[in-house]
A = this chain, B = another copy of it.
Amino acid sequence: MKALPMEIARPYLLFLGDVPDALAAKTATGIVDWRKDWCVGQVRLDGCAADTGLKDMSISEGSAAGAKTMVIGAVNAGGRLPDHWVDSVVEALNAGLDVASGLHVKLGDVPAIKEAAAKNGRQLHDVRHNSMTFATGKGIKRPGKRILTVGTDCSVGKKYTALAMDKAMNERGYTSSFCATGQTGVFISGRGLSLDAVIADFIAGAAEWLSPATEEDHWQVVEGQGSLFHPSFAGVTLGLLHGSQPDGFIVCHEPTRSKMRGVETPLPTVDQVIDMTIQCGKLTNPGIRCVGIAVNTQALDDDEALALLAKLGERHGLPATDPIRYGMEAVVDKVSAEFGTP
């Protein structure tokens, strides 16, 4: 670990550009959902169809309001940085802000941005890229306790579940922190890395770095990535499982999906995910166990959702909940029963 971890200065000014719909600004929305108090406002260009609900302001107004970093919280089609967004980034750097981006293109690869950052002595953060060097994973048990969210698929609520669990743990008197492994998560925690951008040899080592040794009674709630059953990304998932060496894990599931995201592979069952996670995870934490099931029930009405959760909970002898609809209390209860109260 030769480079410093990425630490993004706060508060943020969120840049939404002129994206044509709300989905294109989901990074900004995620930040506001979880860290509204870290944000001074939003910058929207003419024609922007997204809205985080934050106060609209110009870049100079954001700077005057105390913003330290402008976060590009939207993606345009193709993931590129259009010329008129470059103008806004340069304006932010000239106004004394750092700039952080989750785009595929690196900010520093755009000459005008690179020059403006150098001229103003500002930082550029490309959270989708990673210039840190890591040790390879060691597999040795570290002090502290960890919970990892895993999934039957990609994009089934692993980040949201981890954030909700972290919040619920803290509210119940545990000391807990959220460990980010993806770009939106990094903005929400102010620290972390996009694990899928790490060189393959260092996945587990990077996961060890991002959930480091802590006080023995401190909990880290680690944002999961991919799925052990996803044919594109399972390697990242396994390296994260080995490196984060969780004591407990929460299985995240989306019940209306029949095929895994982006591929033709059928979804595994929750049973399969629990079994495989324990089989693989015990390599670095023999005590690993499932502490709950988090289901995105958005597509179901209340009766259907509650019936499904009851059925899943009973079958597995585990709390099953929808973090958004029904909270994480039941899973925290399970953690208390398994590992003790704070």
Chain A residues within CB distance 8 Å of chain B: 136-140, 195-201, 203-205, 228-229, 231-240, 242-243, 262-265, 276, 279-280, 283-284
Asked if B138 and A235 make an inter-chain contact with CB atoms under 8 angstroms apart, the answer reads no
Q: A138-B231, A138-B263, A231-B242 are in contact. Are A236 and B198 (CB under 8 A)?
A: no
**B-side contacts of A237, CB under 8 Å:** 235
Asked if A233 and B204 make an inter-chain contact with CB atoms under 8 angstroms apart, the answer reads yes
Asked if B198 and A199 make an inter-chain contact with CB atoms under 8 angstroms apart, the answer reads yes
Top 9 A-B pairs ranked by shortest CB distance?
A139-B231, A235-B239, A196-B201, A235-B235, A137-B232, A136-B232, A203-B235, A238-B238, A235-B238
Asked if B197 and A196 make an inter-chain contact with CB atoms under 8 angstroms apart, the answer reads no
Q: How far is the CA of A258 from the CA of B139 in the complex (A)?
A: 16
Q: A204-B231, A235-B242, A238-B238 are in contact. Are A139 and B264 (CB under 8 A)?
A: yes
**B-side contacts of A236, CB under 8 Å:** 200-201, 203, 235, 239
**B-side contacts of A243, CB under 8 Å:** 231
Contact partner of A204 (CB less than 8 A), chosen from B136, B139, B197, B232, is B232
14 extra interface residue pairs, beta carbon distance < 8 Å, beyond A138-B264, A200-B236, A231-B243: A137-B263, A138-B231, A140-B264, A196-B201, A198-B199, A200-B203, A200-B235, A203-B236, A205-B232, A234-B239, A235-B235, A235-B236, A235-B240, A276-B279
